[in-house]
Amino acid sequence: MLKFVLILIVGLMLVGCRSDEQPNKPPVIDRIVIPSEVHQGDEVELQVVAHDVDGDPLTYTWEVDTGKLRSKTTDIELWEVPKDADSAKITVHVNDGINPRVSHSIDVEIQVGVEAQGRIAFESTRDESYPEIYVMDADGGNVQRLTNNTDSDGQPSWSPDGQRIAFVSHRDGNFEIHVMDADGGNVQRLTNHRDMDYAPSWSFDGRRIAFVSRRDGGTEIYVMDADGGNVQRLTKNSGHDLYPSWSPDGRRIAFESERDRNWGIYVMDADGGNVQRLSNNSGYDGYPSWSPDGQRIAFQSNRDWNAEIYVMNADGSDQQNLTNNPAWDADPSWSPDGQQIAFQSNRDWNAEIYVMNADGSDQQNLTNNPASDLNPSWSGD
């Protein structure tokens, strides 16, 4: 009997306490935090500012009507903005586990601008009788000289983060691989060998650089760490192997080779294994360039009796002529969004940098200079 009485009393006390409590108050969403400008192809942080007056923990659920989402922290989401979107609706749902969830939406206007398209580095003889490296906006404006040396600097190659440029220089009496900051400062020599080192190409993570060298007698492809250390030879055959281009996932390297008695595009694993031929015709195929999504490879070919820019699938299928011009078109480089291709052409009687859509349409001269402008490289920043 005593046990029953105690339980009853405690029960009454608890009921009495509940009768004095106020109803739980739902959470309050103060705002959604996003950058003031959102560009096509950006990865944008979405953050919510919310609070609960009762101190209950909050959970967040995000929705967008275009693009992909992935979580960064409890209240921050990363939004991959589509490359063809012009607007979006973003909604966040907040729940404290007690009340019905509270939602808030915001409409976002997506901008299209030069910022989203990066910059183009190139070599030019416009100020000297020998080439130097310059950079310009993707529309050809804001040209700036990056190198100022008494000998040739060329073949620029942007690091994936857009912070550095690898290039070839003859400033020390031999062609060697150098690297500099994106503004031309902090130049460092990476290779130091009596034979030529040239044609640098960055790995997707910015940790390694593939290049061409004749240091072992043949013209072969090598790889080194981004600081010039740990040099390794990837190819070894009697033909010439040239102009490596690293795939965006870092697993493969495309290159040109004459190992089968005519020049073609090949691909190999990043360690030099599993070599496969992608193009096979009686003409020359070279200067491969991977698309940012890794699905296509642009390249130069003279199979139609003059140099043209072609594109093919990453397995070598569906090869198409993009330029279809009687002039010399060469050395393709993809825009960071994969929508355009920069290339060099002499269709205006001297070498200029051109740009076109990825399907070959809307070909435009960007440099319009009486000097030679060559070897475009589009940054991925």
DSSP string, 139-170: TS-S-EE----SS-EEEEEE-TTSSEEEEEE-
What's residue 116's pLDDT?
45
Domains of the chain, first to last: 27-111 (2.60.40.10), 117-378 (2.120.10.30)
Type of residue at 17: C
More confident residue, 35 or 189: 189
Structure-model confidence comparison of residues 87 and 155, the more confident one: 155
- Give the pLDDT of residue 10: 38
Residue 188 token pair: 């460092």
Is pLDDT at 84 greater than 60 in this prediction?
A: yes
Is the predicted pLDDT of residue 21 greater than 70, yes or no? no
pLDDT-based confidence at residue 6 (cuts at 50, 70, 90): very low
Least trusted range by pLDDT, from 74-78, 161-165, 219-223: 74-78
- pLDDT for 339 beyond 60: yes
pLDDT-derived band at 114 (thresholds 50, 70, 90) equals very low
Q: What per-residue confidence (pLDDT) applies to 16?
A: 42
Q: What is the pLDDT of residue 57?
A: 84
Average pLDDT over residues 146-165: 94
pLDDT at residue 308 in the model:
97
pLDDT at residue 234, rounded to an integer: 97
What confidence tens digit (pLDDT) does each residue in 238-297 have? 889 999 999 999 999 999 999 888 899 999 999 999 999 999 988 899 999 999 999 999
Q: What is the pLDDT of residues 46-66, one digit of tens each?
A: 888 888 888 788 888 889 998
Residue 233 has pLDDT above 90, yes or no: yes
Nearest Cα to 321, choosing from 304, 338, 296, 342?
Answer: 304
pLDDT at 4 over 80: no
Q: CA 155 to CA 148: how far, in whole Å? A: 15
Quote the pTM value: 0.71
Q: What is the pLDDT of residues 122-149, one digit of tens each?
A: 999 999 999 999 999 999 999 999 999 8
CA distance 157 to 160: 9
Close Cβ partners of 169 (under 8 Å, ≥ 6 residues apart) = 147, 149, 151, 152, 153, 154, 175, 176, 178, 189
Give the separation between CA 226 and CA 307, rounded to whole angstroms.
33
Looking at residues 96-120, what average pLDDT do you find? 77
